[in-house]
Protein backbone atom coordinates (compact mmCIF):
# COMPACT_ATOMS: atom_id res chain seq x y z
CA UNK A 1 0.00 0.00 0.00
CA UNK A 2 1.33 3.45 -0.89
CA UNK A 3 2.13 5.47 2.19
CA UNK A 4 0.58 8.91 2.42
CA UNK A 5 2.81 11.76 3.52
CA UNK A 6 1.94 15.35 4.34
CA UNK A 7 3.05 18.74 5.62
CA UNK A 8 4.65 17.40 8.80
CA UNK A 9 6.49 14.50 7.15
CA UNK A 10 10.28 14.69 7.36
CA UNK A 11 13.03 13.53 5.05
CA UNK A 12 13.54 10.47 7.22
CA UNK A 13 9.82 9.71 7.08
CA UNK A 14 9.58 9.75 3.29
CA UNK A 15 12.83 7.80 2.81
CA UNK A 16 12.06 5.20 5.45
CA UNK A 17 12.88 1.78 4.00
CA UNK A 18 14.19 3.30 0.74
CA UNK A 19 17.63 2.29 -0.51
CA UNK A 20 19.43 4.76 -2.75
CA UNK A 21 22.59 2.73 -3.16
CA UNK A 22 24.00 3.16 -6.62
CA UNK A 23 22.10 6.43 -7.15
CA UNK A 24 24.08 9.57 -7.97
CA UNK A 25 22.58 12.95 -7.14
CA UNK A 26 23.53 16.59 -7.72
CA UNK A 27 22.23 19.05 -5.12
CA UNK A 28 22.88 22.78 -5.43
CA UNK A 29 23.07 25.08 -2.42
CA UNK A 30 24.61 22.75 0.15
CA UNK A 31 26.15 25.44 2.37
CA UNK A 32 23.07 25.88 4.58
CA UNK A 33 19.48 24.98 5.32
CA UNK A 34 17.50 22.79 2.97
CA UNK A 35 20.44 21.87 0.78
CA UNK A 36 22.41 20.43 3.69
CA UNK A 37 19.44 18.44 4.98
CA UNK A 38 18.58 17.18 1.50
CA UNK A 39 22.14 15.94 1.01
CA UNK A 40 22.22 14.39 4.49
CA UNK A 41 19.02 12.45 3.96
CA UNK A 42 20.13 11.14 0.57
CA UNK A 43 23.58 9.94 1.63
CA UNK A 44 22.10 8.38 4.77
CA UNK A 45 20.20 6.06 2.44
CA UNK A 46 23.21 5.17 0.33
CA UNK A 47 23.26 7.81 -2.42
CA UNK A 48 26.40 9.43 -3.81
CA UNK A 49 25.73 13.15 -3.59
CA UNK A 50 27.67 15.87 -5.38
CA UNK A 51 26.97 19.06 -3.49
CA UNK A 52 27.43 22.39 -5.27
CA UNK A 53 28.04 25.65 -3.44
CA UNK A 54 29.50 29.10 -4.04
CA UNK A 55 31.51 29.21 -0.81
CA UNK A 56 33.28 25.87 -0.50
CA UNK A 57 34.81 26.68 2.88
CA UNK A 58 31.39 27.45 4.35
CA UNK A 59 29.89 24.40 2.65
CA UNK A 60 32.66 22.21 4.01
CA UNK A 61 31.82 23.27 7.55
CA UNK A 62 28.07 23.01 7.03
CA UNK A 63 28.24 19.50 5.58
CA UNK A 64 30.25 17.77 8.28
CA UNK A 65 26.99 16.09 9.30
CA UNK A 66 26.48 14.98 5.70
CA UNK A 67 29.86 13.24 5.64
CA UNK A 68 29.08 11.56 8.95
CA UNK A 69 25.72 10.37 7.60
CA UNK A 70 27.42 9.05 4.47
CA UNK A 71 29.82 6.95 6.53
CA UNK A 72 26.96 5.48 8.53
CA UNK A 73 24.55 4.99 5.62
CA UNK A 74 26.93 3.72 2.98
CA UNK A 75 26.64 6.81 0.79
CA UNK A 76 29.28 9.24 -0.44
CA UNK A 77 29.60 13.01 -0.58
CA UNK A 78 31.75 15.47 -2.47
CA UNK A 79 31.72 19.21 -3.09
CA UNK A 80 32.05 21.22 -6.27
CA UNK A 81 32.19 24.98 -6.80
CA UNK A 82 29.18 26.75 -8.28
CA UNK A 83 28.23 30.42 -8.24
CA UNK A 84 24.81 30.66 -9.88
CA UNK A 85 25.16 34.44 -10.15
CA UNK A 86 28.15 34.06 -12.49
CA UNK A 87 27.60 32.12 -15.71
CA UNK A 88 31.34 31.61 -16.11
CA UNK A 89 31.26 29.67 -12.83
CA UNK A 90 28.10 27.81 -13.91
CA UNK A 91 29.69 26.75 -17.19
CA UNK A 92 32.92 25.76 -15.46
CA UNK A 93 30.96 23.57 -13.04
CA UNK A 94 29.10 21.92 -15.91
CA UNK A 95 32.37 21.39 -17.78
CA UNK A 96 33.92 19.65 -14.76
CA UNK A 97 30.93 17.36 -14.35
CA UNK A 98 30.84 16.54 -18.05
CA UNK A 99 34.57 15.85 -18.06
CA UNK A 100 34.09 13.34 -15.24
CA UNK A 101 31.36 11.75 -17.35
CA UNK A 102 29.60 10.04 -14.45
CA UNK A 103 25.81 9.99 -14.92
CA UNK A 104 23.24 11.41 -12.51
CA UNK A 105 19.97 9.80 -11.45
CA UNK A 106 18.63 12.94 -9.82
CA UNK A 107 19.35 16.67 -9.94
CA UNK A 108 17.90 18.89 -7.21
CA UNK A 109 18.16 22.58 -8.11
CA UNK A 110 17.84 23.82 -4.54
CA UNK A 111 20.00 26.95 -4.26
CA UNK A 112 18.48 30.39 -4.37
CA UNK A 113 18.10 33.88 -2.93
CA UNK A 114 15.02 35.75 -1.74
CA UNK A 115 13.90 39.38 -1.54
CA UNK A 116 17.33 40.79 -2.29
CA UNK A 117 17.94 44.52 -2.73
CA UNK A 118 17.93 45.59 -6.36
CA UNK A 119 21.11 44.41 -8.02
CA UNK A 120 22.56 42.39 -10.85
CA UNK A 121 24.47 39.18 -11.35
CA UNK A 122 27.93 39.28 -12.92
CA UNK A 123 26.27 38.90 -16.30
CA UNK A 124 23.93 41.84 -15.77
CA UNK A 125 20.71 39.99 -14.94
CA UNK A 126 18.42 41.04 -12.09
CA UNK A 127 19.80 39.21 -9.08
CA UNK A 128 16.90 36.91 -8.23
CA UNK A 129 15.91 35.98 -11.78
CA UNK A 130 19.55 35.53 -12.74
CA UNK A 131 20.47 33.42 -9.72
CA UNK A 132 17.33 31.40 -9.09
CA UNK A 133 16.40 30.74 -12.71
CA UNK A 134 19.06 31.52 -15.31
CA UNK A 135 21.95 30.00 -13.36
CA UNK A 136 20.09 26.72 -12.97
CA UNK A 137 18.76 26.93 -16.54
CA UNK A 138 22.30 26.92 -17.92
CA UNK A 139 23.68 24.36 -15.45
CA UNK A 140 20.92 21.79 -15.89
CA UNK A 141 20.80 22.09 -19.66
CA UNK A 142 24.56 21.77 -19.95
CA UNK A 143 24.58 18.53 -17.93
CA UNK A 144 21.35 17.12 -19.36
CA UNK A 145 23.42 14.56 -21.26
CA UNK A 146 24.65 13.19 -17.92
CA UNK A 147 21.13 12.49 -16.73
CA UNK A 148 20.44 8.79 -17.20
CA UNK A 149 17.28 7.59 -18.92
CA UNK A 150 14.73 7.61 -16.13
CA UNK A 151 16.50 10.37 -14.18
CA UNK A 152 14.66 13.23 -12.55
CA UNK A 153 15.01 17.00 -12.10
CA UNK A 154 13.54 18.70 -9.03
CA UNK A 155 13.42 22.50 -9.12
CA UNK A 156 12.89 24.04 -5.70
CA UNK A 157 10.32 26.78 -6.22
CA UNK A 158 7.99 28.40 -3.69
CA UNK A 159 4.43 29.42 -2.96
CA UNK A 160 6.00 32.82 -3.60
CA UNK A 161 5.41 32.13 -7.30
CA UNK A 162 1.95 33.54 -6.58
CA UNK A 163 3.46 37.00 -6.11
CA UNK A 164 4.10 37.37 -9.84
CA UNK A 165 4.18 35.70 -13.22
CA UNK A 166 7.36 36.04 -15.25
CA UNK A 167 7.74 39.29 -17.22
CA UNK A 168 9.29 38.35 -20.54
CA UNK A 169 9.33 41.96 -21.72
CA UNK A 170 11.21 43.35 -18.72
CA UNK A 171 12.92 40.50 -16.82
CA UNK A 172 15.63 42.79 -15.42
CA UNK A 173 13.32 45.55 -14.13
CA UNK A 174 14.73 48.07 -16.56
CA UNK A 175 11.32 49.70 -17.00
CA UNK A 176 9.44 48.39 -13.98
CA UNK A 177 9.78 49.72 -10.41
CA UNK A 178 11.66 47.09 -8.42
CA UNK A 179 9.83 45.22 -5.69
CA UNK A 180 11.84 42.49 -3.91
CA UNK A 181 8.98 40.02 -3.59
CA UNK A 182 7.70 40.66 -7.09
CA UNK A 183 11.18 39.79 -8.35
CA UNK A 184 11.21 36.72 -6.10
CA UNK A 185 7.80 35.68 -7.42
CA UNK A 186 8.96 36.01 -11.02
CA UNK A 187 12.00 33.84 -10.34
CA UNK A 188 9.99 31.16 -8.54
CA UNK A 189 7.41 31.06 -11.33
CA UNK A 190 10.34 30.67 -13.72
CA UNK A 191 11.54 27.65 -11.72
CA UNK A 192 8.19 25.95 -12.29
CA UNK A 193 7.96 26.86 -15.96
CA UNK A 194 11.50 25.60 -16.52
CA UNK A 195 10.50 22.24 -15.04
CA UNK A 196 7.46 22.12 -17.33
CA UNK A 197 9.53 22.80 -20.46
CA UNK A 198 12.40 20.49 -19.45
CA UNK A 199 9.93 17.69 -18.74
CA UNK A 200 8.35 18.11 -22.16
CA UNK A 201 11.74 17.89 -23.88
CA UNK A 202 13.11 14.86 -22.05
CA UNK A 203 10.16 12.68 -21.04
CA UNK A 204 10.52 10.51 -24.17
CA UNK A 205 13.60 8.95 -22.59
CA UNK A 206 12.02 8.77 -19.16
CA UNK A 207 13.67 11.87 -17.73
CA UNK A 208 11.04 13.81 -15.80
CA UNK A 209 11.10 17.23 -14.15
CA UNK A 210 9.01 18.69 -11.37
CA UNK A 211 8.95 21.77 -9.15
CA UNK A 212 8.38 21.81 -5.40
CA UNK A 213 7.43 24.24 -2.66
CA UNK A 214 9.23 23.28 0.57
CA UNK A 215 6.96 25.36 2.83
CA UNK A 216 7.84 28.22 5.13
CA UNK A 217 11.10 27.49 6.93
CA UNK A 218 13.40 29.73 8.94
CA UNK A 219 16.69 29.51 7.03
CA UNK A 220 19.36 31.86 5.70
CA UNK A 221 17.10 32.51 2.72
CA UNK A 222 15.47 35.34 4.70
CA UNK A 223 18.75 37.14 5.42
CA UNK A 224 17.89 40.08 3.18
CA UNK A 225 14.65 40.86 5.00
CA UNK A 226 14.56 43.67 7.55
CA UNK A 227 14.24 42.83 11.26
CA UNK A 228 10.62 42.15 12.10
CA UNK A 229 9.58 41.86 8.45
CA UNK A 230 8.96 38.11 8.63
CA UNK A 231 6.91 38.49 11.80
CA UNK A 232 4.82 41.26 10.22
CA UNK A 233 4.26 39.14 7.10
CA UNK A 234 3.17 36.12 9.15
CA UNK A 235 0.81 38.36 11.15
CA UNK A 236 -0.84 39.59 7.92
CA UNK A 237 -1.11 36.03 6.60
CA UNK A 238 -2.74 34.84 9.81
CA UNK A 239 -5.19 37.74 9.88
CA UNK A 240 -6.31 36.77 6.39
CA UNK A 241 -6.44 33.09 7.37
CA UNK A 242 -8.57 33.85 10.42
CA UNK A 243 -10.96 35.94 8.33
CA UNK A 244 -11.35 32.98 5.94
CA UNK A 245 -11.76 30.45 8.72
CA UNK A 246 -8.40 28.83 7.90
CA UNK A 247 -5.79 27.44 10.25
CA UNK A 248 -2.88 29.81 11.02
CA UNK A 249 0.41 29.62 9.18
CA UNK A 250 3.05 27.42 10.79
CA UNK A 251 6.75 27.27 10.02
CA UNK A 252 8.19 23.89 9.11
CA UNK A 253 11.38 22.41 10.47
CA UNK A 254 14.22 22.03 7.99
CA UNK A 255 13.73 18.22 7.75
CA UNK A 256 10.04 18.84 7.03
CA UNK A 257 10.92 21.48 4.44
CA UNK A 258 13.35 19.24 2.59
CA UNK A 259 10.94 16.30 2.60
CA UNK A 260 9.06 17.29 -0.55
CA UNK A 261 12.30 17.55 -2.54
CA UNK A 262 13.41 14.02 -1.66
CA UNK A 263 9.86 12.67 -1.99
CA UNK A 264 9.46 14.13 -5.48
CA UNK A 265 12.95 13.06 -6.49
CA UNK A 266 13.21 9.55 -5.09
CA UNK A 267 9.84 8.28 -3.86
CA UNK A 268 6.92 9.59 -5.91
CA UNK A 269 5.98 8.05 -9.24
CA UNK A 270 7.58 9.73 -12.23
CA UNK A 271 4.33 10.12 -14.14
CA UNK A 272 2.62 11.55 -11.08
CA UNK A 273 5.08 14.42 -10.59
CA UNK A 274 6.45 14.97 -14.11
CA UNK A 275 5.60 18.47 -15.32
CA UNK A 276 3.78 19.23 -12.06
CA UNK A 277 4.19 21.30 -8.90
CA UNK A 278 4.32 19.60 -5.50
CA UNK A 279 4.05 20.68 -1.87
CA UNK A 280 3.56 18.88 1.42
CA UNK A 281 4.75 15.66 -0.26
CA UNK A 282 1.93 15.55 -2.77
CA UNK A 283 1.02 16.97 -6.17
CA UNK A 284 -0.78 20.31 -5.85
CA UNK A 285 -4.07 21.31 -7.38
CA UNK A 286 -4.10 24.08 -9.96
CA UNK A 287 -5.79 27.29 -8.79
CA UNK A 288 -7.19 29.49 -11.57
CA UNK A 289 -5.38 32.80 -11.89
CA UNK A 290 -8.53 34.80 -11.06
CA UNK A 291 -9.36 32.80 -7.93
CA UNK A 292 -8.15 34.18 -4.57
CA UNK A 293 -5.65 32.06 -2.68
CA UNK A 294 -3.84 32.73 0.58
CA UNK A 295 -0.36 31.59 1.53
CA UNK A 296 -1.77 29.15 4.09
CA UNK A 297 -3.57 27.25 1.36
CA UNK A 298 -1.97 24.78 -1.02
CA UNK A 299 -2.14 25.20 -4.77
CA UNK A 300 -0.27 26.36 -7.83
CA UNK A 301 -1.28 29.18 -10.14
CA UNK A 302 -2.29 28.11 -13.63
CA UNK A 303 0.15 30.52 -15.29
CA UNK A 304 3.07 28.68 -13.68
CA UNK A 305 2.17 25.42 -15.44
CA UNK A 306 1.18 26.88 -18.81
CA UNK A 307 3.11 24.97 -21.51
CA UNK A 308 3.03 27.91 -23.93
CA UNK A 309 4.35 30.23 -21.22
CA UNK A 310 7.05 27.66 -20.43
CA UNK A 311 8.18 27.58 -24.05
CA UNK A 312 8.22 31.38 -24.26
CA UNK A 313 10.36 31.54 -21.11
CA UNK A 314 12.71 28.90 -22.52
CA UNK A 315 13.27 30.95 -25.68
CA UNK A 316 13.71 34.18 -23.70
CA UNK A 317 16.17 32.46 -21.35
CA UNK A 318 18.22 31.16 -24.28
CA UNK A 319 18.34 34.67 -25.73
CA UNK A 320 19.46 36.13 -22.39
CA UNK A 321 22.28 33.62 -21.78
CA UNK A 322 23.34 33.39 -25.43
CA UNK A 323 23.00 29.61 -25.75
CA UNK A 324 20.58 27.22 -27.42
CA UNK A 325 19.62 23.95 -25.80
CA UNK A 326 17.87 20.93 -27.28
Q: What is the reported pLDDT for 217? A: 83
Rounded Cα distance, 67 and 79, in Å: 11
Which one, of 174, 195, 263, 180, lies nearest residue 226 by Cα? 180
The whole-angstrom separation of Cα 190 and Cα 164 is: 10
Task: Determine whether 184 is an active site residue.
Answer: yes
- Rounded CA-CA distance 165/153 in Å is 22
Q: Which residues contact 48 (CB under 8 A, 6 or more apart)?
A: 23, 24, 25, 75, 76, 77, 78
Per-residue pLDDT reduced to its tens digit, 126-164: 999 999 999 999 999 999 999 999 999 999 999 999 999
Q: Is 141 left (phi over 0), alpha (psi -120 to 50) or beta?
A: alpha
What pLDDT score does 1 carry? 39
First to last CA, the chain: 39
- The pLDDT, as a whole number, for residue 115 is 93
Parts of the chain with a pLDDT under 70: 1-2, 219-227, 229-230, 234, 237-238, 241, 295
* Selected catalytic residue, list 178, 184, 277, 303: 184
How far, in Å, CA of 129 to CA of 123, rounded?
Answer: 12
Amino acid sequence: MTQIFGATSTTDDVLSGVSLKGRRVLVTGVSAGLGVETARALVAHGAHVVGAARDLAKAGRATEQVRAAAEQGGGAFELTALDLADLASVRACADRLNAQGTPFDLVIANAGVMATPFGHTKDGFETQFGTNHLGHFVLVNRIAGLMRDGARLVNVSSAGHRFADVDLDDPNFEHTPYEPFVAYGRSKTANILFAVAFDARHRARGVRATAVHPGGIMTELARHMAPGEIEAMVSRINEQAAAEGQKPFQFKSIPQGAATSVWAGAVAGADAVGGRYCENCRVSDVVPDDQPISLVNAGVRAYALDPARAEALWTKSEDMVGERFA
